[in-house]
Structure 1
């Protein structure tokens, strides 16, 4: 029997894999840059092709059915193999592709202005920056390396501290002049809002009266603060220029907090590739000089 008779619609398969991995239609739709409606349609198309449901749909959550879990476990290695074969064909023999997962804010505000130094030194290495809120899976080779913001407590990876962060609440000069006692706190979407938790615990500040505004990415948080929309937790290494030019100022009278939070290089266990080793050494040296 010809292979194509058993193959499901490939777009539907890609949609199923993303939803099964995230257990979220919203996150999967954002990753694939499609609408939730289009994603749901593709998943339903696959379910119709198989003749059975793959997800248990609840009001605010979804889970895989037993058949869905089994199907996901069986197709994921095949999709990884296809991705690896495709990457190998795309890279020319003289060029090495290095995929780095990181937050868009770190890429935009810190790494991108410095990346030319690496590219000039290693012109044969093509760096692909892959911004994502969730930690990319270096262990499964979704990326070669990752750079993350946190405390270094990610499981199953090698985490090397690159540099610490200094944090303090900041806002626009106009917002501070308005003397709003309980202004909204602008927060980047995160399952662990540790920077606000750590800062308030350190200075024993009760933030319960401040409303929260959740924004998709820290870049948006910074721009919203500059526009006078509320108070952001300033990550000083990322907002250094805005503090220098006065578009952001300290929101409160407490000094900046030197926390345990920082930026970490995430690598899989085992021997690194030459490209990953070159980038790691360059990045560590650049962070030391920053």
Structure 2
């Protein structure tokens, strides 16, 4: 009987494959949702098990050794086989399906749409039908299979699962603050139009104002159709909007929008984006989509520009 030596631990192989693919321990850590030191530990353990060095450690980078390159070719091919087989069996289990998703237009265009190609690649047998409407779909009645809503998780006769928290702070175009008119305290916002999106249960400006001790009664509020229009109005210098960090990360990164009061930030775990579905057993396709969204949101927390 031929004796087979045991394989290295799967965690060590996963860490090596990700680090070799990115040529970065930190990017591998972000992909695997572990710390950089954990990736380094797994790779050191693998190198000890194999008896060879797989990486050259440099000051600000890593490179594969010749042995590491040869091993990566085999390990990567094995993981690609596993990924392909897993996706095929998942697709078979779920079966061809159409999934109707109710979502705000602002979330659909500013966060969800850029990430959908990754979902389609992972679940080619699920066809998504997005309903980006300002009016909330009737989830309890089954108007949609799942909805992505913004709020505090209080929707009767539904199941709500938090997707990701939102960080709130007033923002505007840099041009609005030109000429020394930058607000120094929340009360100074009274000099500017306040931009708000329509909602039957508006709460974000009220919650932020209570957080900073501001009375909104004297404010000039301009109510716009939805948050996409609010952002466009802010970019045009027409007033101050409540920044939802998850949706405006790109504009903050480029400086097209800037925080008005950098220290006046509302971090409340109850405020954010929620996955809302009818009570009862969800469709397999709905469960797959929700699980995928949660993973995408976790990656977004590590890299909002992802």
TM class, shorter-chain normalised? 0.5 to 0.7
Q: Secondary structure at the match of 2:273?
A: strand
Q: Secondary structure at the match of 1:283?
A: helix
Alignment correspondent of 1:199: 208
Alignment correspondent of 2:222: 213
Per-residue deviation, residues 102-154 of structure 1 (Å, max 9, x unmatched): 10000000000011111001111110110112221122121110000000010
Larger Rg: 2
For residue 288 of structure 2, the aligned residue among 266, 270, 278 is 278
Give the drift of 1:95: 3.6
Alignment correspondent of 1:135: 136
Distance in 2 of aligned mates of 1:207 and 1:271: 43
Give the drift of 1:177: 1.8
Give the drift of 1:256: 2.1
Aligned residue pair count: 197
Per-residue deviation, residues 174-205 of structure 1 (Å, max 9, x unmatched): 10225275101100001222110010001102
Give the drift of 1:162: 0.8
Alignment of 1:169-208 (within 5 A): 169-178=170-179, 179=181, 181=188, 182-208=191-217
Distance in 2 of aligned mates of 1:210 and 1:192: 19
Alignment correspondent of 2:249: 240
Alignment correspondent of 2:32: none
User: Does the 8 Å contact 2:212/2:264 carry over to 1?
Assistant: no
Alignment correspondent of 2:22: none
Alignment of 1:1-290 (within 5 A): 95-178=96-179, 179=181, 181=188, 182-259=191-268, 260-290=270-300
Runs of 4+ with >6 A deviation: none
User: Does the 8 Å contact 2:100/2:130 carry over to 1?
Assistant: yes
Give the drift of 1:254: 2.9
Tell me the TM-score normalised to structure 1 length.
0.66
Distance in 2 of aligned mates of 1:189 and 1:138: 20
5+ long unaligned stretches in structure 2: 1-94, 183-187, 301-306
Q: Secondary structure at the match of 2:166?
A: strand
Distance in 2 of aligned mates of 1:202 and 1:176: 23
Q: Secondary structure at the match of 2:248?
A: helix
User: Does the 8 Å contact 2:206/2:216 carry over to 1?
Assistant: no
Tell me the TM-score normalised to structure 2 length.
0.62
Cα RMSD after superposing both structures? 1.4
Distance in 1 of aligned mates of 2:157 and 2:147: 13
Distance in 1 of aligned mates of 2:194 and 2:115: 30
Distance in 2 of aligned mates of 1:193 and 1:141: 25
Alignment correspondent of 2:70: none
